[in-house]
A = this chain, B = another copy of it.
Amino acid sequence: MSDPFVVVGADAAGLSAASKFRREAPDRDVVVFEKGRWISFAYCGMPYFIEGRVERLSNLLSLSPSEVAERGIDLRRGHEVVSVDSDAKTVAVEAATGESLTQPYSDLLVATGGRAVTGPFDVRGVDGAFTLHDMDAAAAMDAYIAPPDEYDPARADVSAVDRERVDHNAAQPAPETAAIVGGGYVGVEMAEALHGRGLDVHLFQRSDYLLPPFGEAVGARVAAELDATGVTVHTGSPVDALVTDDDPGVGANSRIEAVEASGETFPADLVVVGVGIRPNTALLEDTDVETGPGGAIRTDEHGRTNLPEVYAAGDCATAIHAVTGEDAWSPLGLTANRAGRAIGSTVAGTPTPVGEIAGTAVVKAFDMECGRVGILDEDEAIEAGFDPVRETVTAGSRSGYYPGSSDTDVTLVADRDTGRLIGGSIVGADRAAVRINTVATALESGLTVAEFERLDLAYAPPFSPVWDPLLVAAKVLNGSLESA
């Protein structure tokens, strides 16, 4: 094998890197180890599969193993990289067949992704209790929700699927009530999905508002939207325990019956635990690799770790935050794809920055479109050295006389000393989400609020009032800065 580029993990970051590298360095070998059977699937699409809006599990696959092979990439599924020897420049691999092997590398990319954490709750072996971070879980939950006589096995139409687990879940009685533990992205998206499947849904959130990274203005509006559609939202209400028909938290193939929160017991035939993810970094545990926020692998502007010729990208790696200039951990799809692609070029000989992150994120909650970017949290802003000033405005999304305008809440945060815009959020029913990209671009360009207020943004009655809601917010925030 000539001068091999070894990639660990065959999802967004890993396969983007391998594909880009393959095109730019046709004379070198590239091998991708993937511990499981799944490759290149859309995490973000799983709630929509469960909702039924996406018809087939296969719709969520971007690339098949044979397409990867056609690109000239040596893909080895069922091969787990268990350790890295950065002096010898080798990785130790254990195959699902029981075989062990040692693979030398010239360059190594760790793209091992993240895993769902469950907090104090053990969902293993409990029927009706799920996390949602892999395709087998999505297929199993979908099968569990369907009444046994109505489940269509063609929904899980991918050979890699854990068919036994699907069949077991399909045989269970259909749930009527659902409890979602955690009101982040996954929680909110799953609330919509399960409501769409006809379940009576209760969403439990530890803190006082949903979607904490989006800030209170967004979280409160989303809670109101969920309530209005019939999802019961419990904020400030952490789940204390899962109740099964066995002893709580114990026993294989017990079935979920309820959750306990705020001293009450809420019946639940289905529980989704969505309390966050953590980076998968175990394979580097015995190295001197540096880690950063969230325990993710620290990387520089080219995706390099502190180990020679070892890169990291995707949900297991940090990136540089455009606003703070510091390491940050933002496990999202674009970050992974972009960093993978850049590292593929860099390893192939063209140094390419992975790009900074701005923490840009959007989420749909029924008719509400939510967006956030940058630093919204007061403490986080102060810790990064800013003196944050914030304003929230409510403005129409269209000219007042044009039908269909929706109240749009915009929050902007700036640094008092420099006037620099450091964060923003938006929520509304009419094209709100994509508007956050304007704020992201401003943040990454280092604009002040005064500069932002003077941006020549588009106006036409069906799409915006004369003053776009973002400009209204900037005007108000700039007024606060000037009067301060």
Pair B444/A45 contact, Cβ less than 8 Å? no
Of the residues B44, B322, B458, B462, contact of A436 by C-beta under 8 Å = B458
Cα(A53)–Cα(B398), bound, Å: 13
Pair A459/B356 contact, Cβ less than 8 Å? no
Tell me, yes or no, whether A361 is within 8 Å of chain B by CB: yes
Pair B358/A53 contact, Cβ less than 8 Å? no
Q: Which residues of B contact A433 (CB under 8 A)?
A: 458, 460, 462-463
Cα(A362)–Cα(B457), bound, Å: 9
Tell me, yes or no, whether A100 is within 8 Å of chain B by CB: no
Cα(A59)–Cα(B400), bound, Å: 8
Tell me, yes or no, whether A403 is within 8 Å of chain B by CB: yes
Chain A residues 217-265 with CB under 8 Å of chain B are: none
Interface size class of A (residues with CB under 8 A): 35 or more
Q: Which residues of B contact A400 (CB under 8 A)?
A: 59
Pair A461/B356 contact, Cβ less than 8 Å? no
Chain B residue nearest in CB terms to A454 = B355
Q: Which residues of B contact A44 (CB under 8 A)?
A: 399, 459-461
Cα(A470)–Cα(B353), bound, Å: 19
Scan A257-286; emit 1 where CB is below 8 A from any B CB, else 0: 000000000000000000000000000000
Cα(A440)–Cα(B438), bound, Å: 8
Of the residues B333, B364, B458, contact of A462 by C-beta under 8 Å = B364
Pair B364/A48 contact, Cβ less than 8 Å? no
Pair A361/B48 contact, Cβ less than 8 Å? no
Cα(A462)–Cα(B44), bound, Å: 10
Pair A440/B459 contact, Cβ less than 8 Å? no
Pair A362/B456 contact, Cβ less than 8 Å? no
Cα(A361)–Cα(B399), bound, Å: 15
Contact (A402, B456) CB under 8 Å given A369-B463, A434-B431, A441-B438: no
Chain B residue nearest in CB terms to A53 = B403
Nearest CB in chain B: distance from A354 CB, A: 8
Of the residues B337, B435, B459, B460, contact of A466 by C-beta under 8 Å = B337
Tell me, yes or no, whether A12 is within 8 Å of chain B by CB: yes
Nearest CB in chain B: distance from A305 CB, A: 20
Q: A residues near B, CB below 8 A?
A: 12, 42, 44-45, 48, 53-54, 59-60, 322, 332-335, 337-338, 353, 355-364, 369, 371, 373, 399-403, 431, 433-438, 440-442, 444-447, 451, 454-464, 466-468, 470
14 contacts between A and B (CB under 8 A): A12-B466, A44-B459, A45-B399, A48-B401, A334-B459, A337-B466, A353-B454, A359-B456, A360-B456, A433-B458, A433-B460, A434-B464, A444-B451, A445-B445
